[in-house]
Structure 1
């Protein structure tokens, strides 16, 4: 019975230690937000194309189409700018391999975390607005 208990305790400890997940780092959180919104860039481009077809409308609705298109284009530019600036601030080892950051780079990462959260909001809202506008048109 003692052996069975000892075996069960060891098995439990092995399984629980294997299942322990480390808390994601701040860099991993920033990259996760980027990875979440990056696939939406194709949808953003598709919506710009749909709105292009309606931009000659001079009514009030036409003005809404134009604003929605500009918002989508601004969100796209924000993503491109963010990626370029982020890549200029951090090297691949810091981004992908968890290389320790200097104090300056840690401050930059704090800034980039706020920027990528704002970027996500901008992309999500511009897409939702354009989709709602286009759906209301059907």
Structure 2
């Protein structure tokens, strides 16, 4: 049931990349750049969730073994994964699908800001995945 809820949330949340792919905005190219960054890392979103779940189970085992060195490291990685996962969720929820209804100057400013935000999310996701992969 938990996996079904997660899958439906991912599918509905990811509609951001389907938003207004073609319009008459003078900033359509900038919009496509923003979406390209999103689309590149979005497939990692579910991988991050799997790593978080795996780490949760590994942490429980490490706590039983009282392996304090690994516990601290794994908690930090889990926190990074959680932050990256939630950052993508937040970015998708807050993205204004009506960006093209703004004035051309507002569109440009908005999309530049969103490009910066999604770039940071992308970096965070990639970094947290790298940390999770090299945790052993």
TM-score (norm 1): 0.69
Structure 2 counterpart of 1:75, from 65, 77, 84: 84
2:126 is the counterpart of 1:124: yes
Unaligned runs of at least 5 residues, structure 1: 1-23
Q: Name the CA distance, whole Å, in 2 between partners of 1:121 and 1:101.
A: 30
Q: Does 1:55 align with 2:64?
A: no
| Residue 38 (structure 2) pairs with residue 29 (structure 1) | no
- What SS is found at the alignment partner of 2:58? coil
CA deviation string 1:58-88 (max 9, x = no partner): 41111111110111011011001101111xx
Question: Normalised by the size of structure 2, how large is the TM-score?
Answer: 0.70
Question: Unaligned 5+ residue runs, structure 2?
Answer: 1-27
1:45 pairs with 2:49: yes
Number of equivalent positions: 104
Report the Cα distance in structure 2 between the residues aligned to 1:90 and 1:103, rounded to whole angstroms: 17
Provide, for residues 90-119 of structure 1, a one-character-per-residue CA deviation record: whole Å limited to 9, x for no partner: 328x4xxxx785322321111001111111
- Shift >6 Å, 4+ stretches: none
Larger radius of gyration: 1
- Corresponding residue number in structure 1 for 2:3: none
